[in-house]
Amino acid sequence: MNPGARVLVTGATGQDGSYLLERLLERDASVTAVTRPGDELTAGLPAQVRPRTAALDDAEALRRVVRDASPQYIFHLGAVSSVAASWERPAETMAVNTVSTAALLESMASAEGARLVLASSSEIFGNAAESPQTEATAIRPVTPYGVSKAAAHQLVSLWRGRGSFASTAILYNHESPRRPETFVTRKITAGAARIARGLQDHLTLGALDARRDWGWAPDYVEALLTIADAEEPDDFIVASGRSHSVADFAEAALRAAGVSATDGLIVSDPRFVRPADVAEMVGDASRIRSRLGWSPTVDFDGLVQRMVAHDLALIDQADPAR
């Protein structure tokens, strides 16, 4: 990506979007960020970023933004990204996640030579028949979120078949301190920090045996940039290749917080178990490793430790006398 490149980013105020904006500005890109109407987080965008308001399910508004920004790169990160929320709002999830992708792909004709990278998801594979999953694994989602991302993923494939530079990054779970506590990983690390400081007595979670392939969010943002600058567009799994259970994550977080005796501190509550969920997800990132040279720099224990350290610091800053 050359200095001054024109870049359009959706989902700029989310975890991945915030890290991506930082990397783009380091490269002296000219960045336009699509924000939701009434989004109070717009004020938190870097001063160098140009905000444009458009609802992701408003195709015409997105077309106008693309025509105005005339981007050379489009990073489509914006979505209803919570699996739990997708069960509560399935129609909204489908509208936001698919209409936005179709509109951006359609609008690429007005930004001749533009490259689009969609943040796809491991949830497209659902209860996969093989493990680890590859880019050739059958798409068969089992959640509304997974269905919506599968549709968006396949739209990108269709446009790529018509000659557009349209790629997907099939992102496996990736975390950082910028996750809100509505995500189980941040709920765990914040809870572990509170337990360590005597502010909470246990962690209440859903299915403890669900296994995921967790990585460090800034690493996965680097993968997005690498995919955008690839010689040819394609689908790329972005994953660590290792899976851990929710219980593993909770135990690692408690250890990182200095809590050595974890018996009785991790509780499973049926209220937090999803209506349908995949048992294990683990990705084979051989394609992006071999073709583009990407590999993660932070392992599972490292990402847990960084998140817990952040949450401990938040507690200590709020009460220096503690």
pLDDT, one tens digit per residue, over 55-109 is 999 999 999 999 999 999 999 999 987 887 888 999 999 999 999 999 999 998 7
Q: What is the dihedral of CA 259, 265, 270, 272, to 10 degrees?
A: -30
Cα 206 to Cα 40, 71, 236, 244, 270, distances in angstroms: 31, 42, 30, 15, 6
Do 271 and 210 contact (CB within 8 A), yes or no? no
pLDDT, one tens digit per residue, over 236-294 is 999 999 999 999 999 999 999 999 888 899 999 877 766 656 667 899 999 999 999 99
Residue 173, classed as helix, strand or coil, is: coil
Phi then psi dihedrals of residue 82, to 5 deg:
-95, 125
pLDDT of residue 101: 97
Question: What sign results for the dihedral spanned by CA atoms 272, 84, 263, 257?
Answer: negative
- Strands (DSSP E) along the chain, which ranges? 6-10, 30-35, 50-53, 73-76, 115-121, 165-171, 174-175, 203-205, 211-212, 215-216, 235-238, 244-245, 266-268
DSSP 199-222: S-S-EEES-SS-EE--EEHHHHHH
Confidence of residue 41 (pLDDT cuts 50, 70, 90): low
**Which distant-in-sequence residues (6+ apart) come within 8 Å of 111 by Cβ?**
66, 67, 69, 70, 71, 72, 74
Q: At what angle do helices 15-26 and 217-228 cross, to 10 degrees?
A: 60
**Tokens linked to 281:** 């997800």
User: pLDDT > 70: what percent of the chain?
Assistant: 95
Higher pLDDT, 270 or 19: 19
* Dist CA 34 CA 53 (whole Å): 6
Which amino acids are annotated catalytic?
Answer: 121, 123, 145
User: pLDDT > 90: what percent of the chain?
Assistant: 81
* Dist CA 203 CA 249 (whole Å): 12
Vertex 282, ends 276 and 283: CA angle to 5°?
125
Question: What sign results for the dihedral spanned by CA atoms 183, 188, 193, 195?
Answer: positive
How many residues in total does the chain contain?
322
pLDDT of residue 234: 98
**Tokens linked to 176:** 């950082």
Share the mean pLDDT of the chain: 93
**Tokens linked to 189:** 């690390």
What single DSSP character describes residue 172? P
pLDDT of residue 100: 96
